[in-house]
Amino acid sequence: MQKTFDVTITYLEQNTRPQFPLPFRPAGKTALIRSETPPLHYYRYLYDQVGGPFHWVSRRYMPDEDLAEIIHNPDVYIYVLYYNGSPCGMAEVDTRKDCHPPGTVEIKFFGLMPDFIGKRLGRWFLHNVVDLAWSLDPERVVLETCTADHPAALPLYQKLGFSVYDQGKGVIEWRG
């Protein structure tokens, strides 16, 4: 079943590394691990579990060869958050020079799986991902969100020092 959604896309940036103290580590056992050259099925699992409820589509229908070219690129960093031994979130940091202006690092994807939303993991996870992005020594870090994302996404990004620099309209074509 195909659905079409009109969305407003909000583009955000940080031009200096934020100086916020690290939020308290969430209760439970947490681990943030970089997944280097993940198998396609594992990446698709993470992407669908995190992004499915919010109708993420940019990688959902991508052919395997095209997806592998991106996620196996050494300039793309995929991080997986584990909570009590289970994967519960993913983030992707993209530093490819042919995709961004010089000095720009993009947090391409970030989110938690539905079962883990509300467990006080998001702020800690995002703080660490932002820190990892800045550790790559960019001039700015960018990300985007849209009105189909979790309603807490935009406020969380702004609390962690991201500023809106543009907005636009978009359409999501979801093929359930």
Between CA 128 and CA 118 the distance in angstroms is 18
pTM, entire model: 0.94
How many domains is the chain built from? 1
Which domain, by its residues, includes 170? 2-175
pLDDT tens-digit readout, 48-98 = 999 999 999 999 999 999 999 999 999 999 999 999 999 999 999 999 999
Residue 140: φ, ψ to 5°: -155, 155
**The domain spanning residue 103 has which CATH number?**
3.40.630.30
How does residue 175 score in pLDDT terms, banded at 50, 70 and 90? confident
Out of 20-34, 35-49, 93-107, 142-156, which region has the weakest mean confidence (pLDDT)? 20-34
pLDDT in the model for residue 57: 92
Instruction: Give the mean pLDDT of the chain.
Output: 95
Between CA 163 and CA 14 the distance in angstroms is 7
Between CA 74 and CA 41 the distance in angstroms is 19
CB-based contacts of 1: which residues, under 8 Å, 6+ apart? 175, 176
Is residue 164's pLDDT more than 90?
Answer: yes
Amino acid (1-letter code) at residue 6: D
